[in-house]
């Protein structure tokens, strides 16, 4: 544009920041709520052959976990104004439960760990128990209130 | 003719993409306002930031050597051209543009069907939004992974490297405006040209839309080679990739598929597996545990057939 590549890049950076600022001013920084209905709909689109048996929905509407009969886990989480899904085979993830919080981790470089907060510790524990009975979480599962143990489903 | 032949020697072409940047910015601003006022398009700030950063990175990748590699390769091959001294006149530029658009169709199709090329091209599809900023979400690794080889036949024919790069730029600029939800159907224009509707289909992850509408400017190539799919009113396109990214980090967006290839190759147990992971279709795995887009489409067809069949 100007013949000086560095100056051109500087102009581009300023242009990007201006556009991003404009987008913010128009209310572009929104994050989708993950509701039961929304999670079901997203899961049905992304993984149509996944038939959820149990659901766990985040208290703050930031994520949802579903487990099917085969013990596979589906995680639905927000990506800005949209939602996205990850599906894990039994044993392909770890599940940490500390108090009201359930954290799922997996070896996936495009995905971060997701922590879901339940309304009370019992809900998390109950979900973990039913999940394990379905065969999911064959990786390490740590449970409840700082006490750490390893459970294989 | 002599004058025309001389015109091709040393002919220079403008960097049309650089000239178009102010128009890109203006149109993005207008679309953002349109989106806000009508709700017929959508912008999300972090997504927009990621897309614009990818566009900037693409230009930087060109400056630090990507474009030079392509130009050097074209210049080398140009020595062995079949037709000498194609003049730089309107009809030769038009011919070159059409030939380049044909080459683009195949480049684009292969970019979806082979993981080596998909690793670069996936960047452009990684947004779950579809707006003008998505058009600028471009690869950083394309030139370094030799995507420019699809333009080599044009140079072998005898079109100068400068002309080939110029018409490629025109094609890129054309494709900017079709990345929008603000424009609906366009009547007879859609018979020949790629339009927002056609390209929405291309960016959609709805199974019926997978692997379709690879065109750059002319949609005729898709109609000719059986990859054309019409946008259906009852199946609103949903954008992104089959396994959507969980990040807006530009560096991860740029390299995530390359990292995936490296991980897979490291775990490969045979040369066949190495080859499959690098040059097989995206989603290929030795045991078939992952899904290619063809498998996703098959699953959708069989589920639809099951739903439509009368209950026993």
Q: Cβ contact (<8 Å) for B129 and A81?
A: yes
Q: Which of A9, A12, A23 to mutate to test the interface with B (most CBs of B within 10 A)?
A: A23
Query: Chain A: residue nearest B29 by CA?
Result: A19
A-B C-beta contacts closer than 8 Å: 107
Given pLDDT bands bounded at 50, 70 and 90, which one contains residue B8? very low
pLDDT at B49: 97
Chain A within 8 Å of B244 (Cβ-Cβ)?
yes
- If one compares B215 and A111, the residue with the highest pLDDT of the two is B215
Given pLDDT bands bounded at 50, 70 and 90, which one contains residue B7? very low
Buried b (16+ CB within 10 A) or exposed e, B25-44: bebbbebbebbbeeeebbbb
Query: Chain B: residue nearest A78 by CA?
Result: B246
pLDDT at A125: 85
Range of weakest confidence among A23-27, B100-104, B150-154, B261-265: A23-27
CA dist., res. B37 & res. B223, Å (int): 36
Q: What's the rounded mean pLDDT across residues B240-256? A: 96
Q: Cβ contact (<8 Å) for A16 and B129?
A: no
pLDDT at B83: 96
Chain B within 8 Å of A6 (Cβ-Cβ)?
no
| Residue A141 token pair | 């599962």
Chain B within 8 Å of A22 (Cβ-Cβ)?
yes
Q: Which of A4, A8, A16 to mutate to test the interface with B (most CBs of B within 10 A)?
A: A16
Nearest C-alpha of chain B: how many angstroms from A143? 26
Q: What's the rounded mean pLDDT across residues B221-231? A: 98
pLDDT at B132 over 80: yes
pLDDT at B162: 95
pLDDT at A153: 25
Q: What's the rounded mean pLDDT across residues B273-277? A: 98
For B75, other C-beta atoms within 10 Å of its C-beta total: 13
Q: Average per-residue pLDDT in chain B?
A: 93
Asked if A106 contacts A86 with a C-beta cutoff of 8 angstroms, the reply is yes
pLDDT at A1: 63
What is the signed CA dihedral for A3, B86, B75, B140, rounded to 10 degrees? 60
In whole angstroms, what separates CA B113 from the centre of its chain?
A: 12
CA dist., res. B229 & res. B188, Å (int): 16
Q: What's the rounded mean pLDDT across residues B76-97? A: 95
pLDDT over 90, % of chain B: 88
- The angle formed by the CA atoms of residues A119, A121 and A123, to the nearest 5 degrees, is 65
Chain B within 8 Å of A70 (Cβ-Cβ)?
no
pLDDT at B11: 65
Given pLDDT bands bounded at 50, 70 and 90, which one contains residue B307? confident
pLDDT at B57 over 50: yes
Q: Which of B44, B242, B244 sits opposite A28 (nearest CB)?
A: B44
DSSP-assigned letter for residue B63: I
- The residues in B 94-123 lying below 8 A from A, measured between CB atoms, are none
pLDDT at B297 over 80: yes
Q: Which of B46, B138, B267 to mutate to test the interface with A (most CBs of A within 10 A)?
A: B46
Which chain A residues touch B48 with a CB distance below 8 Å? 19-20, 23, 28
Query: Chain B: residue nearest A2 by CA?
Result: B18
Given pLDDT bands bounded at 50, 70 and 90, which one contains residue B176? very high
pLDDT at A145: 36
Q: Cβ contact (<8 Å) for B45 and A45?
A: no
In whole angstroms, what separates CA B233 from the centre of its chain?
A: 24
What is the signed CA dihedral for B166, B171, B175, B176, rounded to 10 degrees? 10
pLDDT at A121: 87
Q: What's the rounded mean pLDDT across residues B94-107? A: 98
Q: Cβ contact (<8 Å) for B299 and A49?
A: yes
- Counting as low any pLDDT under 50, the low residues of chain A are 138-140, 143-153
Query: Chain B: residue nearest A79 by CA?
Result: B246
């Amino acid at each position: 544009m100007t013949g000086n590549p560095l100056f051109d890049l500087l102009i581009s950076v300023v242009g990007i920041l201006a556009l991003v600022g404009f987008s913010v001013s128009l209310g572009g920084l929104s994050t989708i709520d993950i509701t039961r209905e929304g999670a079901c709909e997203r899961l049905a689109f992304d993984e149509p052959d996944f038939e959820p048996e149990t659901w766990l929905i985040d208290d703050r509407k930031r994520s949802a976990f579903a487990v099917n009969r085969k013990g596979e886990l589906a995680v639905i989480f927000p990506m800005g104004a949209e939602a996205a899904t990850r599906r894990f085979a039994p044993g392909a993830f770890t599940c940490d439960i500390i108090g009201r919080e359930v954290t799922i981790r997996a070896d996936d470089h495009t995905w971060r760990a997701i922590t879901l907060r339940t309304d009370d510790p019992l809900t998390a524990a109950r979900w973990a128990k039913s999940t394990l009975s379905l065969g999911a979480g064959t990786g390490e599962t740590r449970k409840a209130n700082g006490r750490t143990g390893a459970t294989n489903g | 003719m002599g004058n025309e032949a001389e015109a091709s020697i040393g002919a220079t072409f403008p960097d049309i993409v650089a000239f178009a940047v102010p128009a890109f910015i203006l149109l993005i601003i207008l679309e953002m306002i349109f989106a806000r006022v009508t709700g017929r398009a959508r912008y999300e700030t972090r997504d927009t930031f990621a897309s614009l950063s990818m566009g900037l990175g693409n230009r930087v990748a060109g400056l630090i050597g990507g474009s030079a590699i392509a130009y050097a390769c074209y210049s080398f091959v140009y020595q062995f051209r079949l037709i000498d001294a194609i003049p730089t006149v309107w009809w030769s530029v038009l011919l070159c543009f059409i030939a380049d658009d044909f080459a683009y169709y195949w480049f684009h199709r292969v970019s979806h069907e082979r993981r080596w090329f998909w690793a670069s091209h996936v960047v452009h599809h990684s947004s779950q939004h579809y707006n003008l900023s998505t058009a600028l979400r471009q690869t950083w690794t394309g030139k370094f992974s030799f995507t420019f080889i699809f333009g080599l036949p044009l140079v072998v024919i005898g079109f100068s490297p400068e002309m080939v790069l110029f018409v490629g730029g025109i094609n890129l600029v054309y494709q900017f405006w079709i990345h929008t939800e603000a424009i609906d159907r366009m009547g007879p224009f859609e018979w020949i040209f790629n339009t927002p509707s056609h390209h929405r289909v291309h960016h959609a992850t709805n199974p019926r839309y997978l692997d379709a509408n690879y065109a750059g400017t002319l949609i005729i190539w898709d109609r000719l080679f059986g990859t054309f799919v019409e946008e259906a009113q009852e199946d609103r396109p949903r954008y992104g990739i089959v396994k959507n990214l969980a990040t807006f980090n530009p560096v991860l967006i740029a390299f995530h598929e390359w990292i995936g290839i490296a991980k897979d190759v490291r775990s490969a147990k045979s040369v066949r597996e190495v080859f499959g992971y690098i040059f097989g279709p995206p989603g290929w795995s030795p045991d078939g545990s992952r899904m290619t887009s063809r498998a996703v489409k098959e699953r959708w067809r069989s589920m639809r057939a099951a739903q439509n069949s009368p209950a026993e």
